[in-house]
Amino acid sequence: MAMPSSPEHPLPVRTVARAIGDWVGRLGRVWIDGQVTEISRRPGAATVFVTLRDPAADVSLRLTCPRPVCDAVLPPLADGARVVVWAKPDFYLARGTLTLTAYEFRPVGVGELLARLERLKQMLAVEGLFATERKRPLPFLPDTVGLVCGRGSAAERDVCEHARRRWPAVRFAIRAVAVQGPTAVGQVTAALCELDLDPAVEVIVIARGGGSVEDLLPFSDESLCRAVAACRTPVVSAVGHEPDTPLLDLVADLRASTPTDAGRRVVPDVAEQAAGVDAARQRLRRRLHQRLEAEAAGLAALRTRPVLAAPEREVDRRAEDVRAARERTRRCVRGRVETATAELAHTRARVAALSPAATLERGYAVVQRLDGAVLRRYVEVTVGGEISVRLSAGRLDAVVSGRSPR
């Protein structure tokens, strides 16, 4: 529960310090996994001071332990050693500081480290960080290569020399960092993120020479592996020698067996590319010559054909065809005109034969009422009615004086 206080009734420092000490004391003794970064053995002092750092974060705690407890550790404690400590947190009221009192140290052996790495490897594999489909291809010719390595290290020299030997124009953005020890993970991760944000850097190489399992532990750190997986820039892992396989090799987009191999693989060989260009030019030249020769042979074959050897013959033949077609056209038109003329005369004769005027010429007449209706029966007119008689030549007006069926 929060201790009641106010500006008018503040709590004394001793009261707050005792409350903090009580809360810290409730934690009791705990087992802590960390890395030794500093050991202070004062001559004649019965207490040894140790700084214990988290391997994956920039967090450290101060430990005190009796000298016999520290001297009993085999192998002896040294900077960079990975240990498991049984300790109890204590809060000193007089100085307001938090320390851990160590009661037992257990060095973490290689077997335990490898078992932890195997568990981490399985976890990252399940998450898909090692999947082949997420790995990106390296650019063919990067403008700038980012290099994370130790300061003045052989790895830096191997990568740069072999890369420049293959492509002299290649440029490097080098970040010198600690590649082993408690600060290695943080520095490598920071350099990696800095290079990933640089738009000029097209590929990043993380390089380190060989070493023991403990020396290469920073390159199997979970936070570094996740940082590499989150990079937008392709990453090449060139850590250790051929048998060494830190987890970084599995997460990176490309694993190089050595820093020298990384220098060969990040850039193409200018001699090989020049030879390839020359070979391509020779193939193009041969292909062009073959095409020209084939076209020349085709042109020669066309020139030997009769239509090109004596083109006037084809013109004469075509002119004769035109004249024959013209004559056939005249005959056809003349025949069609004569046939149409005969049909027209026959039709005119038929029309003349069937014409009412021809009938009237033979002595017949057409009798009509005054309204123009043609009379066909005698009953259609009355006695005394006026009628009109049409002859072949002229018309007669008459009055019916009588009617009879015969």
- pLDDT exceeds cutoff 70 at 112: no
Mind listing the pLDDT tens digit for each residue in 262-289? 999 999 988 888 889 999 999 999 999 9
Q: What is the DSSP string of 261-308?
A: HHHHHSS--HHHHHHHHHHHHHHHHHHHHHHHHHHHHHHHHHHHSHHH
Mind listing the pLDDT tens digit for each residue in 309-323? 777 777 888 888 999
- Give the tokens for residue 152: 């003045």
**Phi-psi bin for 372: left (phi > 0), alpha (psi -120 to 50), beta?**
left
Confidence at 351, pLDDT banded by 50, 70, 90: confident
- pLDDT exceeds cutoff 60 at 251: yes
Confidence at 1, pLDDT banded by 50, 70, 90: low
| Contacts for 58 with CB less than 8 Å, ≥ 6 apart | 186
The domain 114-131+139-267 belongs to what CATH superfamily? Succinyl-CoA synthetase domains (3.40.50.261)
- pLDDT exceeds cutoff 80 at 3: no
Which residues in 136-164 are b (16+ Cβ under 10 Å) and which e?
Answer: eebeeebebbbbbbbeebebbebbbebbe
Mind listing the pLDDT tens digit for each residue in 165-219? 999 889 999 999 988 877 888 899 999 999 999 999 999 999 998 777 667 888 8
Percent of the chain with pLDDT over 90: 32
Residues forming a β-bridge with 236? 205, 254
For domain 13-108, give the CATH number.
Answer: 2.40.50.140
Q: What is the pLDDT of residue 114?
A: 66
Distance CA(276)–CA(281), nearest Å, equals 9
Q: What is the pLDDT of residue 60?
A: 84
- pLDDT exceeds cutoff 90 at 93: no
- pLDDT exceeds cutoff 70 at 356: yes
Do 191 and 177 form a contact (C-beta atoms < 8 A)? yes
Mind listing the pLDDT tens digit for each residue in 17-75? 888 888 888 888 888 888 888 888 888 888 888 888 887 667 888 888 888 888 887 77
Q: What is the pLDDT of residue 119?
A: 82
Domain regions of the chain by residue span: 13-108, 114-131+139-267, 271-300, 359-399
Q: What is the pLDDT of residue 293?
A: 93
- Give the tokens for residue 393: 């030549």
Confidence at 333, pLDDT banded by 50, 70, 90: very high
- pLDDT exceeds cutoff 70 at 111: no
Distance CA(386)–CA(402), nearest Å, equals 12
Mind listing the pLDDT tens digit for each residue in 377-400? 878 888 888 888 888 788 888 888
How many residues make up the chain in this entry? 406
- Give the tokens for residue 274: 């020049």
Rounded mean pLDDT of the chain? 86
Residue type, 359: T
| 17-31, 221-235, 286-300: the lowest-pLDDT one | 17-31
Q: What is the pLDDT of residue 109?
A: 61
- Give the tokens for residue 116: 């932890």
What phi, psi does 11 have (nearest 5°)? -90, 140
CA–CA distance from 326 to each of 229, 319, 322, 329, 332 (Å)? 87, 10, 6, 5, 10
The dihedral through the CA atoms of 331, 336, 339, 341 has a sign that is negative
